[in-house]
Each structure stands twice: as structure tokens, then as C-alpha cells.
């Protein structure tokens, strides 16, 4: 039996329609290794609605429901209720949605699902824009990024708003478990999914998901960028369990933001001064995170 650091069972077929080097494909692959085959999944409009391939094809070795764009949280609640009504206790309900379908159009339904204490896992794969419709900005697009609706033609036409914090929002709902994961750290990813699976109530997993066409980089860099996003401190790996923060990875020396940006065309237009501003903000945010982690030990449920 070959020794692998993550489970070997594949619950995903090849032959799917994801772009070469797609981060979201790996998010799904690792998620499935963590939740296992006793799962029902619901997916809204997003890249993954299409990656499954056209009728009559399916990519996942589990039952999957397509749901309306805004309504993943509601679909999750419906699936869970149906299973409860049928007395099924050992099947995990998973909602799998992009950043658009979660932080923007889907946020109401997500909020409802969590607030009702629905026993399910919600996974947001974050490629930081509305990728399926051709790279338009979402509230999850980072400050400074090019997208087709923030075309960075001139000073100040890139994304100006900061990235919305789904972590803060879910913690504010007093969610039992929320974790950030990255495909650059698969063992941490699968560990957190397995941990989430064993917890009752609503659980949220925010997955960093680089996108070659959307972020404008050469596809073989996907894993490297997945690690750099974490190691700059821009996308920290952490868990918040019952309101207590635990940062999973604390690089002794964080990667400079400009190195991370240098690999991506979507940041190419940024003047040095703006990159420096982003570095300063990232440093400050990291400092805040360290403080919150400490503070939350005695004061759970503070938000970041």
C-alpha cells in the first residue's frame, strides 16, 4: 500500500471540464477525500456547475444537486431536513459554492442556514472573482486586482474595496467551526475537513482557489501561488472553533506581497506605492490576527 499523506480514495472522475491547472478542481478533490462517500452535495451556479460536464455526465462519485444561484444555504437546509425526515443520520450534507455565490448573491441564504443551526458543511471555494461568467469582480476580489469590471485602465480603476471577510461574518453568527484552507497545504486541508465532519451544526470552510485565467498566471504555478497566498499572510490558515482562534501556520518570515503579486497579471498594473500600502495593511492585519488569537482564548467569539 503506497504511503500517501492524504487519503488515496478518489471520489472524483477525470475527464471533467476544468481549465488546466484549476485550483477549484483540487479544492473539490481534497474536500471529497475529507468528507468521504457518505455525502450529498449541492452546488449553485459557479465554475463547478459546469466543470461536471454537460448532460448526461457527472464527475463526482456522490449524489449531487444543482441549486439556484442565490440559494445554496437554503438547499443545504432542505437536504438536511429531508434526510432527518427519513431518519438518515450518517450522511454529511455539503454545499459547495464560489465566492460570488457565497459572499454576494448567496449571503442571505448562507446566513439563514447558519442561523438556523443547520447540521451541514458549507464550502466556499474562493477564486476571488465571478470566474464562471468571465472574471468579474466579487466582494471577495482583493484590493488592487484587475477584473473585467475593475479593468485597471488608469489609476484607481482597479478593485478599490477591501476583500469581504467571510470569516468575520460566520464567526459573528457564532458558528461552531470555521476554517480557512489552501490547496497548497493539502494535509492541513484534509485534516480540517475531517475535523469539520465530526462536528455537529453548521460548519464553514473557506478554500483558497487560484485561477489561471482569472489571476493571469501560467497554470503550473497554481500550487506555488496557493502557498504564497498563505505565506504572505494575505490568506492565513486558521480555524475558529467555538469562537477560539487557532492559526494553523505561522511562517517565521512571511513572503513579501510583491513576490506574490509578481507572478500574477491581475496585479501587474499596481504602482509600487500601492503595493507598499498593501504590504503595510497585510502586516497590520497579521498583527491583529495574532492579537485576536491570543485574546480569543479568554474571550471567544471576537471577530477578525
Partner 1 sequence: MMMTKVVMTGNYAQSYAAKLARAQVVAAYPITPQTSIVEKIAEFVAKGQFDTQYIKVESEHSAMQACISEAALGSRTYTATSSQGLLLMHELLFWAAGQRAPVVMGVVNRAVAPPWTIWTDHTDSMAQRDTGWIQYYCESNQEVLDTVLQAYHVAESTDVLLPAMVMEDAFFLSHTVEAVDVPPQEKVDGFIPPKRSPWILELGKEKKLGSFMMPDVYMEFRYNVARGMMAARKRVLEADEEFERRFGRNHGGLLPEYKCDDADVVLMTIGTASCTAREVIDEMRREGKKVGLARMRVFRPFPQDEVQRLASHVRALGVLDRSWGFGFSGPLYTEVAGAAYQGRHKPLMKDYVTGIGGRDITPPVLRGIFTDLLGLKEGAQETDWVGLRRPEKEVLRNA
Partner 2 sequence: MKTFKSYADVPEAPLADVPSSEEKTSGWRSNRPVVDLKNCTKCYLCWKYCPDVAIAINGEGWPEVKYDYCKGCGICAEECARDCIVMEKEV
Residue ranges binding partner 2 (CB under 8 A): 2-6, 8, 10, 12-18, 20-23, 25-26, 29, 52-53, 55-59, 183, 186, 212, 218-224
Q: Are 12 and 64 in contact (CB under 8 A)?
A: no
Single out the residue of 35, 49, 131, 228 in contact with partner 1 (rule: CB under 8 A).
Answer: 49
Is the CB of 2 or the CB of 87 nearer to partner 2? 2
Cα(196)–Cα(175) distance, integer angstroms: 12
Residue 97 in contact with partner 1, rule: CB under 8 A: no
Supply the minimum distance, in Å, between the C-beta of residue 34 and partner 1.
Answer: 18
Binding at 112: pick from partner 1, partner 2, none (beta carbon under 5-8 Å per type): partner 1
Residue 12 in contact with partner 1, rule: CB under 8 A: no
**Other residues' Cβ atoms within 10 Å of the Cβ of residue 163:** 19
CA atoms within 13 A on the CB side of 283: 10
Binding at 221: pick from partner 2, partner 1, none (beta carbon under 5-8 Å per type): partner 2
Single out the residue of 24, 33, 75, 261 in contact with partner 1 (rule: CB under 8 A).
Answer: 75
Cα(59)–Cα(179) distance, integer angstroms: 26
CA torsion sign for 180, 78, 67, 145 is negative
Q: What is the gyration radius of the CA atoms in the chain, in angstroms?
A: 19
Cα(247)–Cα(241) distance, integer angstroms: 11
Is the CB of 4 or the CB of 157 nearer to partner 2? 4
- Region of 81 please: left (phi>0), alpha (psi -120 to 50) or beta: alpha
Residue 38 in contact with partner 1, rule: CB under 8 A: yes
Single out the residue of 16, 42, 177, 293 in contact with partner 1 (rule: CB under 8 A).
Answer: 42
Cα(105)–Cα(81) distance, integer angstroms: 23
Stretch that binds partner 1, among 64-72, 201-209, 256-264, 288-296 (CB under 8 A): 64-72
Supply the minimum distance, in Å, between the C-beta of residue 132 and partner 2.
Answer: 16
Residue 58 in contact with partner 1, rule: CB under 8 A: yes
Please name the residue that has the C-alpha cell 443547520: 118
Supply the minimum distance, in Å, between the C-beta of residue 223 and partner 2.
Answer: 5
Amino acid at each position: 500500500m503506497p504511503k500517501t499523506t492524504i487519503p488515496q480514495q478518489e471520489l472524483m472522475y477525470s475527464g471533467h471540464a476544468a481549465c488546466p491547472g484549476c485550483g477549484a478542481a483540487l479544492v473539490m478533490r481534497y474536500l471529497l477525500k475529507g468528507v468521504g462517500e457518505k455525502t450529498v452535495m449541492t452546488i449553485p451556479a459557479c465554475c463547478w456547475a459546469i466543470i461536471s460536464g454537460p448532460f448526461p455526465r457527472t464527475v463526482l462519485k456522490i449524489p449531487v444537486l444543482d441549486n439556484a444561484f442565490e440559494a445554496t444555504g437554503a438547499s443545504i437546509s432542505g437536504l438536511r431536513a429531508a434526510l432527518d425526515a427519513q431518519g438518515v443520520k450518517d450522511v454529511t450534507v455539503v454545499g459547495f459554492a464560489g465566492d460570488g455565490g457565497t459572499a454576494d448573491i448567496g449571503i442571505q441564504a448562507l446566513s439563514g442556514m447558519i442561523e438556523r443551526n443547520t447540521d451541514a458543511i458549507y464550502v466556499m471555494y474562493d477564486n476571488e472573482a465571478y470566474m464562471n461568467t468571465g472574471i468579474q469582480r466579487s466582494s471577495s476580489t482583493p484590493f488592487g486586482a484587475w477584473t473585467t469590471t475593475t479593468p485597471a485602465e488608469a489609476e484607481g480603476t482597479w478593485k478599490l474595496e477591501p476583500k469581504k471577510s467571510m470569516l468575520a461574518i460566520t464567526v459573528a453568527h457564532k458558528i461552531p467551526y470555521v476554517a480557512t484552507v489552501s490547496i497548497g497545504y493539502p494535509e492541513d486541508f484534509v485534516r480540517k475537513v475531517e475535523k469539520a465532519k465530526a462536528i455537529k451544526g453548521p460548519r464553514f470552510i473557506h478554500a483558497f482557489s487560484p485561477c489561471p485565467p482569472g489571476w493571469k498566471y501560467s497554470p503550473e504555478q497554481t500550487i506555488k501561488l496557493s502557498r504564497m497566498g498563505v505565506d504572505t499572510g494575505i490568506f492565513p490558515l486558521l480555524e475558529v472553533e467555538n469562537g477560539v482562534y487557532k492559526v494553523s501556520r505561522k511562517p517565521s518570515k512571511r513572503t513579501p506581497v510583491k513576490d506574490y503579486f509578481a507572478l500574477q497579471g491581475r496585479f501587474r498594473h499596481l504602482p509600487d506605492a500601492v503595493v507598499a500600502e498593501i504590504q503595510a495593511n497585510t502586516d497590520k492585519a497579521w498583527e491583529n490576527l495574532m492579537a485576536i488569537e491570543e485574546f480569543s482564548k479568554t474571550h471567544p467569539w471576537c471577530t477578525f
